Structure 1
Amino acid sequence: MLAICALLIGSFVAAVISGSAGFGGALLLLPLLNQAVGVTLAVPLLTIAQLVGNLSRVAFGWREIRWRPVLLFLAPALPAAALGAWWFTALPKALTVRCLGAAILLFVILKLRGLNFRPSPQLLICGGAVVGLLSGLVGSAGLIGAAIFLSLDLPPVAYVASEATTAVAMHLVKWAVYQRVIVLDGAFWSLAAGMSVAMVAGTWVGKRLIETLSVARFRLLVAGLLAVTAVQMLWMG
């Protein structure tokens, strides 16, 4: 019961962080999930929680979605996400944990260095392949995907809805793989539902907090937490 409460609180906090800092929430939630339910269930649970959050963003900005870049991005991203999800289920779990840690540390470094891209169809295609593979393997590659869509200089609603559309599609593909090779019982679904509700609430709070907090300092704090977590995962496996 204590572990479930910790996951619900962690989901809420992760959503607050994502809603106010713009990144980091899902990756901070991964180590907590790993400790509570094990790495085998951690990534599928995170996938469900992220799917719910991104679906709400798609619904909010449906009319503003830019379908051409979305389709270019998804063409390689979907098969790459399926491959990454299959690798996740096949790799030794200690190696998977270290992959999670390495991915978190990489995303922190890229963020602190100011991740920027020049827009092009080639960027969307190559970036889609990389993001899809990492998303399937380690659960989240949102920082890279966000940077790619930010480079397109879309209006805010179009950017959010378009990037969320790609995330929803990848999460659905990953989920199709996970449920075929991982046994998911009623307890899993109950926990997934609770986490989803907590993340929706946390996202709303995060949007309110961003109006009062120093975003730059908050992002630096989140980056520091991510870096410490990544090093611990790499070291301990």
Structure 2
Amino acid sequence: MMEIHIILILSSFIAALISGSAGFGGSLLLLPVLTLYVGAEIAVPVLTIAQLIGNLSRMAFGLKQIDWKKVALFSITALPLSALGAFGFSILSKSTVTRGIGAVLILLVILKYYRILKFKPNNKTLIFGGAITGLLSGLAGSAGPIGAAVFLSFSLQPIAYIASEAATATAIHIVKIVVYDKLVNVPPEAVNLGLLMGVAMIFGTYIANQFIKHMKKEVFQKYVAILLCIAGVYMLIAG
């Protein structure tokens, strides 16, 4: 049991390095690892607890640069639909939903790269993006890459982008935890594991924050676009 805890804590630290520097990606690493060791039924709720703590730390490290107006608009639709998605978590096939998200991500990045589709940085993008992100996050455990794509369209500075996206993710995870508590019987030891993983994510987030502080906005956007494609391929193949 101790070995399992160590593996999951180290995985959480590495996941936070990724999500702390790109705004997403941590859950893509942690979900299959968690499923292997604790089972598919409680992997998503445990991951949600860990992600809540990790996103709170991302918020804290960039608190002064959060764009609260964008966060509020995104959350208007993200929160109710994350509750709906969490309700459907126990009904729909997780692998089908995950592959669907992966295919959409790859398509969005390709369309944006070739300028076939231009993300308009306006309120409608935030509201619609919040709806899709919230619903899929509740269903599949995470839809961070889609939320990241929405906030990336506004050309925010790296820290502002990371912290603002984290603020919306934090709110979504709180809603999901409440709903999962009603749907899934999560044992106390699994909750404790989620808390330990969350603490490990704080340290990973701090190191990532130091890394992106000195990154130029243009370089950062290309870096995130590449990771979006990688995330999409991973989700499409792995399910």
Name the counterpart of 1:140: 142
Cα separation, partners in 2 of 1:189 and 1:9, compared to 1, 3 Å: same
User: Is 1:41 paired with 2:42?
Assistant: yes
For the pair 1:86 / 2:84, whether they are aligned, the reply is: no
2:135 is aligned with what amino acid? L
Instruction: Tell me how far apart the structure 1 counterparts of residues 18 and 73 of structure 2 sit (CA, whole Å).
Output: 30
The residue type equivalent to 2:185 in the other structure is V
Identity percentage of aligned residues: 45
Give the partner amino acid of 1:3.
Answer: I
SS in 2 for 1:89: coil
Q: 1:223 to 1:157 in 2, by over 3 A?
A: closer
**Change beyond 3 A, Cα 1:169–1:53:** same
TM-score, scaled to structure 1: 0.81
Matches of 2:234 and 2:153, distance apart in 1: 29
Report which stretch shifted further, 140-149 or 150-159: 150-159
Task: Point out the more displaced range, 20-29 or 175-184.
Answer: 20-29
Matched with 2:74 is: 73
Are the aligned partners of 2:105 and 2:229 in contact in 1 as well (CA < 8 Å)?
A: no
- Which position in structure 2 is the counterpart of 1:3? 4
Matches of 1:50 and 1:114, distance apart in 2: 28
Structure 2 CA distance for partners of 1:156 and 1:21, relative to 1, 3 Å: closer
Q: Does 1:56 align with 2:62?
A: no
> Equivalent residue for 2:204?
202
Aligned counterpart for 1:169 among listed residues 153, 165, 171: 171
Query: Could you tell me whether the CA contact under 8 Å between 1:80 and 1:129 is conserved in 2?
Result: yes
CA 1:105 to 1:191, structure 2 compared with 1: closer, same or farther past 3 Å?
farther
1:103 is matched with which residue? 101
Q: TM-score, normalised by structure 2?
A: 0.80
Displacement after TM superposition at 1:36 (Å)? 1.5
| Cα distance in structure 2, aligned partners of 1:106 and 1:42 | 24
Q: Deviations over 1:189-217 (max 9, x none)?
A: 221122112212222344456689x9878
1:24 aligns with 25
Distance 1:126 1:221, change over 3 A: closer
Q: Which runs of 5+ in 2 are unaligned?
A: none
Query: Size of the alignment, in residue pairs?
Result: 229
Q: 1:157 to 1:203 in 2, by over 3 A?
A: closer
The answer (yes or no) to whether the contact 1:101–1:229 under 8 Å persists in 2 is yes
For 2:60, what is the secondary structure of its paired residue? helix
Contact 1:7 1:32 in 2 (8 A): yes
